[in-house]
Each structure stands twice: as C-alpha cells, then as structure tokens.
Chain A
Amino acid sequence: MATKINVRSPFYLNLDEPTIPLPTFLCGTAEVENLSIDQQGQISTPTLRFGIVDSITSTDGDFSNGKYATVSTATIRNLTLRILIPQGFSNADVVYLDCPYTVTQPALVTSGPSPSCVNGPTTNGSIPAQTLDVNGDTETIDLSSYFTQGTVAIAGYTIYNVSTIVNASVSGSTLTLSSNISGGSTTVYVSAYDNSTNSCTATQAISVTVNAPGQTYACTNNGIAAISGGSIAQDGTITNPNSTGTITAIKETSGGASITSYSANNTGSDRSVTLYFDITAPGGYDNAGSTIECDLTFTQPSDLPTFDCNIANLSGQQISTKGVINSGSAQEGTISDWSPKSFDTVTSDTSRTVTFYITPPASGYANSGGSDITCDKTITQPAATPTCGSNTLYISAPVSSPSNFCDQSYAVKSQIKSTGGLYGLGSVICRNNSVFDGGNFYYAVATSQVTVGPNYGAFLIWQIDSNGVIQDVRQSNCNGTGGDTVAL
C-alpha cells in the first residue's frame, strides 16, 4: 500500500544507507542434525545450526506425549519440528516454522529368537504423578526404587522432557523436577540403561502437573502471550500461532463462526487481518479446560514472494586453481547451469564473477514454474601455484564417506601444510611442498598425530578436492548412526 503524499506540503524522502538484506529462514536453514528415535520411541534432542526446537509433533497414530510407542519392526516416522526462527532472518516475526522430517524408529524386541536388545534394566512399579506450583517449585524422586537392574548394574538415567512448563534433571539416581512460570500438565519420561553391549533400556512415564494457584489462564500469563507467531498466506491459508494452550477454533470476528482459512488477498496491497482464536486453558490454572478467546493481527501479503537470489542463498561455490568451477548448492531452488564454465589459470588470487542460473521451486513463489533466475557471485580463483600454507596439521587415510571413520580406527599421522586452520573451509592443502590431490575424499584431521574412530573423542573431517582445496569441514563423534557428522 503506497504512501499518500499531499504535495502542497513538503514531503521528504529520508534515505538511509542500504543494509544487507536478511536471509529467509527455511527448514533447510536450520541444518537439523542428530534427529533420531531410540528403541523406546523417544525422540532425540536434535542439534540445529540456526533456530531452536520449540516442539516435535507427529501425525502418526501412536505418537503421544512427545514419543512413539515401541515397535517390533523398524518403522519410518513422520515428525514435524516446530523451529523458533531466530533474529537476523527476514521472517523472524513469523516466530516459528514447521518442518517435516522422516526418521526410522528401530525395533524393540526383547524376547524371541531375534531380539533387538537383550537384558538391561526393567521397571519396578510406577512413578506416581507429581504436582508442583509455578515459579520454581521442585520435587525429587529416587529413581533407584522404580527400576530393577538387569544382568549388570544400572549405569545411569536419561530424561525425555519435551515440555517447557517443567525442567527435569537427574543426578545419580535422583530426579529433580522444577516448575517454570507457566502452568499446565505434561509427561516426563525417564529411562534407565546399563553399559552392556546391546542392552535394552527401561522407561517410566511421570505425569507432571504444574498448578498456578489463583491464576486464571488469559491471553497474557505472567507476561507470556497465550498465542504468538502464525501467519496468513496470500491465498488465505492460516498457519496457527504458537500457543501455551490448545487452539480449538479460528474466527474472523469475536464470537463468530469457526473458519479454517481466510479469503485470498487480491487487493494488490498487503492488508492487516485480525483473527480470533478459541484456546482451551491448560491444566494447572483455575479455569483449566475452559475456553478463552484471544485475537492476533497478521499482515496478509498481496502476492506470493518472488524467488530471488537472496532466497536462493548460494553457498559452497568455488573455483579451483585450474579454473574449474564448483557449482556448490542453493538453499532454495536448483542450480541448473552457470557461466562461464571455467577460467584460465592465474598466477595470483583473482576475483571472478560467475553467473548461476537457478530454477525456482515448483511452488510457493510468484515465479514458480517460470524462467530461471540469474545470480552473479564473486568467487576468488586461487593462483595456479599457490603458496603452501605454514600451518602444520595431520590427516588420515582417505575414505569415501564421513561415516566410514566410525567403522574402525584410523591413524591421523600424515603431515600436511595448510593455508588455513582446522576449520579452514577453502584453504589449500600441500604435502611435500606441492598441492595435495585429495580426490574429493574425506580425511580425518588433527593438530597432532592421533587416532580417531569408535570409542575415541570427537574429531574433524575434511573433504579435499583434486586441487587441494578443502570443500567440506565436518565434525564427528561416532555416536549414534552414520557417524553423526555435522557440517560446520
């Protein structure tokens, strides 16, 4: 909606120096790692490069209280991670993004001819429900009386708590629950494990209610809004806001009829839309289970966003010493081509501009299905005879996949020189005073001669191309499956 100016009075354009546009936070931006489901159906706490996991939900029928039921055969699970968008992204005001993932839940078979695990602790009775008051009330539970060891002693306990209303921690065999400032109810899971190979774990569910005595659940509770975030797309699709209660209905007017979507915005300009939400008050409040109505105002865009270079967010583009272009990747869209295809070698580091052609995603943008967009990127082409760096480091033998380092132990003992440090993506590696042909394989790297692999600590992995340029830097700890490598 354009500003109206009344030209009989002065109108001043106030022009500020342009600021670098903020990138759009997308599911891929989060770079979710270590998302897995264990044999008890408990979902691991994933690590994210950007954003914070607000909640994990699933439409699978046996998903309840933030976990799945155990399964006798490995099962593919559909999860939705609600990721809180951090500041520094253009869509931070949307607050969160729901991102779908699929993860395979391993089987839990404790008996029969082919058990998935054997022995291990077992449960002993049930842990009673716990009730706390808001604002730091605590309860402690001696877990040792609720689990029985298997063939060997219980080595420890893990906690599974997806709620923000209560904090849970374990010290030795003592579980401590402490409340936060919001009331409600949730279930906390505690699993006992031992150190036997392929041992089963045992899990107890603890029902926890956090009461807010004398408090009535309202649209703002202790300074926290009952609803925040959400959006209305141009076509009227409503994404519900985050809520500390349960949203049961959306309405256009206060007390009006329930709707599932809003009218498309074809006005040619953005418009402000206020929606009213029926929210069921969570447990713990005086009005638990009753419905309150809160409103939230959204800006409904007039058009789908245009897919552009900022959204494409090219990364990993490089030029080898021989002038060959590595096309890298795009966060959104697909790189279909680039020009030129190569450059001549140079005797000193030279700045090059490469035009990348990017096909917009099939939907979701005004130019979806349209022509490729072009994005120029300036890349430095290293000199053909690079000065080998002076940083002495050690690398292992090559492997074809980062996860291979977790199959067996590898000695990191071959001395190299690097123009950068351990995290020097794009640095040039030399061995014996000439560029090291890494063949695009992966190498474990360290500052001294060490051994890496299972039962060793965390270590770094480089992918080195045929020009000796580090193309990827990863970290691995060989816990879990697939080496658990994390791109850095």
Chain B
Amino acid sequence: MYSGIENSYSSTDLKYTINKNIISGQQNIIVEIAELVRDYLDITFDGTYTSSAKWVSAVVTYFDTDGESYDYSNPEVFNFVAVDGYGYFEDEINPELSRHALISANNIYLPEGTAGTLPIFAEGVGKVRIDSTDTEITDNGNSNQKIQYITIPADSSTIRVYDTDDTTVLKTITVNNICEPKFTPYKVVFQNKLGALQDLWFFKKTTESFNVTDETFKRNIINTSSVSYALNDTQNQRYNVNGKTRLSLNTGFIKEDMNQTIEELFLTENAWIDFEGNVLPIIPVSKSMTFKTSLNDRLTDYTIDFEFGFDKINNIR
C-alpha cells in the first residue's frame, strides 16, 4: 500500500505476504484483501478536505504443482485504488460503486450565502458544471488526486457531473439554499458510503446535554487514636469522574431523497462537527432510524443524537 503514483511502490510498501495453495479440483484461488488494506487507510479531517485514497498493488506470483514459478505472465500485478467505502448487500460482491460523484443523494442542502463541497472520483469525471461554470477535472495520477473536493460557490443551484468525454452527464445534483434566521445551522462532516467526506447541515434546533460517569468507594475515616471520625469527612469517595457532551441536531425539512444520506450518517465510523470554531469528532449515538416519506409523513425531517468523541475532562495520557 502506498501513496503517490500508481506502480511507484518500493519494498518498504510491502505490507503482507500471503501464500495459498489451490484447492484440489478448483481452478482458481480467492484472497480477500479489503480487511488487510483497511488497516492502512488513515481517515482524518481537520477542516481541510483531503483524499484518503491509497494505491494497492497486489503482486501475484504463480507457481506450478512442482513449485516452479511460471515463466510467463508472472508475476502479475493488480492495481487498485482503495477508499474507505462500503457496499450494501444488494450491491453484490466486490462493489466498486460510483466512479464519479461520491455522494449518493441528488440533493445538497446549504445555508444561504454559504459555500459547500462536492466529493468526486477524479478518474471518472471530465468536468463539473455548477450552474453555468465549468470546472475541468485533472488527475495527475497521484493518489491524493483520486478523491477531489469541488467547491460549490454560495447560492449555487445545480451541479452537473460529466463523464471524461465532457459531454455525458453522469449525475445532476440540486443545491438547496436554506434561509434559517432563527437557529444556528451546524455542519456535520462524515465519511459516507463511497469513502468520501460529505457535508450534512442541521438547520433547526440544537440541544446540548451532558452525561457524567463516576465511581465511588468506601473510605475508612475512623481516627484510631481518638476513636472518632470527622463529620466533614466523606465515607463514599467519588473517583474516575468524567463527562460526555451530547448534541441533538435537527435537519429541518429535507427531501425524501436525503434518506440515503441520513442512513449513511448512521453507518459512518468517522464524523466531525464544526462546533464553536473547532472541528470536533462526534459519534452518532442514535441507533435506530425510521425512514420518513412524503407519502407517510408529508414532511421529512430527522433528529439525530451525537456524542462528542472525547471526554469532557482531558484525561489523555
């Protein structure tokens, strides 16, 4: 696994060596590599959107039944771009998923007057047209170019993602600019199904709460010399006290199309919130979700609970 240009690996990039014999009666060998690869993908976000993709080169050497390596097509190198996404059961085996826009929904919600970001897979995109402005997508082959984050200017309305021929529209995304005069919108950034960082704004009421955890033990407070104890001495000593802050965020009314985005937020392992000037890690603590539809519910909005990904009292040692 390595960063940089495809095939630019060296011996230090070798992470695993796997030997496997073909099973008698079979014609092929299957090796599952995603679990191994995942250990080497670093997912970070500090307010700057960067590509977490890395190259994976599987260098396969084939041996015959005598243990002699084949003298043709050997070794064979398989190159992959690894991203920290996932497929659903319905996506079947080895899901590659979208190779263009790296968001599932066809809508983006932004506060009025606020710019946004759109993640794309650069290899499969020729240009992105936001309203009438084209952004040509170039990819110099470096892994840090594979996932690119396109800035959506404030108050844009439509985004079209084009194939590498610059003519075929692969995805059209509607930008919904929300005027929210009452509440303070919060931006949550999470890693979505396609392995990219995606923004999701919560426009409505935010509730902050606080949970404390502690332990106690019984102290021996008796003074053996005077055979007494002080009334101001505590018998039950509290220790290991810490707290965690929770946020309850509301999306406001959104289109049913955003259900898949909410679903991906529930399933994410990495999320952050832009909160009071800091980018802080959060964990979705809501564990169940009932999909809302315009037919059943008329209007669709979601309340999702998050917990900050750290203790209130700094106890990092």
Contact = CB atoms under 8 A, between A and B. Distances in A.
B164 interface: yes
Interface in A1-54: 1-21
B81 A12 contact: no
Contacts of B31: 12-13, 15
Contact of A15 (B30, B34, B93, B167): B30
Contacts of B34: 5-11
B115 interface: no
A273 B163 CA distance: 12
Contacts of B72: 18, 20-21, 310
A364 to B, nearest CB: 23
A2 B6 contact: yes
Contacts of A341: none
A14 B28 contact: yes
B94 A18 contact: no
B35 A15 contact: no
Interface stretch (B84-92, B169-177, B179-187, B216-224): B84-92
A253 interface: yes
Interface string B67-92: 00010111010111111111100010
Contact of B95 (A6, A21, A267, A310): A6
Contact of A16 (B28, B85, B91): B28
A18 B140 CA distance: 32
A21 B140 CA distance: 31
Given A4-B99, A6-B95, A267-B164, A13 B33 contact: yes
A3 B78 CA distance: 9
Contacts of A11: 32-34, 37, 80, 94
A243 B55 CA distance: 42
What is the size category of the interface that chain B forms with chain A? 35 or more
Given A2-B79, A14-B28, A18-B72, A9 B164 contact: no
B116 interface: no
Interface string B210-230: 000000000000000000000
Given A5-B81, A6-B85, A12 B28 contact: no
Given A13-B78, A20-B72, A268-B141, A8 B84 contact: yes
B55 A4 contact: no
Contacts of B76: 18
A268 to B, nearest CB: 5
A315 B83 CA distance: 46
B83 A268 contact: no
A314 B194 CA distance: 48
A269 B255 CA distance: 38
B84 A2 contact: no
Contacts of A2: 6, 55, 79-81, 123
Nearest to B40: A7
A7 B96 contact: no
B121 interface: yes
Interface of A is mostly: loop
B15 interface: no
Contacts of B96: 3-6
A271 interface: yes
Contact of B83 (A4, A13, A15): A4
A16 B28 CA distance: 5
Interface stretch (B56-64, B235-243, B304-312): B56-64
Given A11-B33, A12-B32, A253 B167 contact: yes
Interface string B139-151: 1110000000000
A323 to B, nearest CB: 23
Contacts of B195: 6-8
B294 to A, nearest CB: 30
Given A20-B72, A253-B167, A15 B60 contact: yes
Contacts of A268: 6, 139-141
Given A1-B123, A13-B31, A7 B139 contact: no
A7 B94 contact: no
Given A11-B33, A13-B30, A253-B167, A3 B73 contact: no
B288 interface: no
Interface of B is mostly: loop
Given A11-B33, A253-B167, A267-B164, A5 B141 contact: no
Interface residues of A, number: 29
A273 B167 CA distance: 12
B167 to A, nearest CB: 7
Contacts of A9: 34, 85-87, 91, 95
A1 B79 CA distance: 9
A120 B263 CA distance: 91
A5 B83 contact: yes
B105 interface: no
B280 interface: no
A332 B116 CA distance: 55
Contacts of A4: 80-83, 96-97, 99, 121, 123
Contacts of A6: 34, 83-87, 95-97, 193-195
B82 A5 contact: yes
Nearest to A274: B165
A273 B78 CA distance: 24
A269 B78 contact: no
A19 B73 contact: yes
B62 A18 contact: yes
Nearest to B96: A4
Nearest to A15: B29
Contacts of B87: 6, 9
Contact of A12 (B93, B123, B165): B93
Contacts of A269: 123
B121 A7 contact: no
Contacts of A19: 73
B27 interface: yes
Interface in A395-440: none
Nearest to B121: A4
Interface in B85-127: 85-87, 91, 93-97, 99, 121, 123
Interface string A65-88: 000000000000000000000000
Contacts of A8: 34, 38, 84-86, 195, 269
Contacts of A16: 27-28
Contact of B30 (A12, A20, A21): A12
Interface in A263-319: 267-269, 271, 273-274, 310
Nearest to A5: B80
A236 to B, nearest CB: 14
19 contacts: A2-B123, A5-B37, A5-B83, A5-B94, A6-B34, A6-B85, A8-B85, A10-B93, A11-B80, A12-B31, A12-B93, A13-B29, A13-B32, A13-B60, A17-B62, A18-B72, A20-B72, A268-B139, A274-B165
Which 5 pairs from chain A and chain B are nearest by CB? Answer: A8-B86, A6-B85, A18-B73, A11-B34, A7-B34
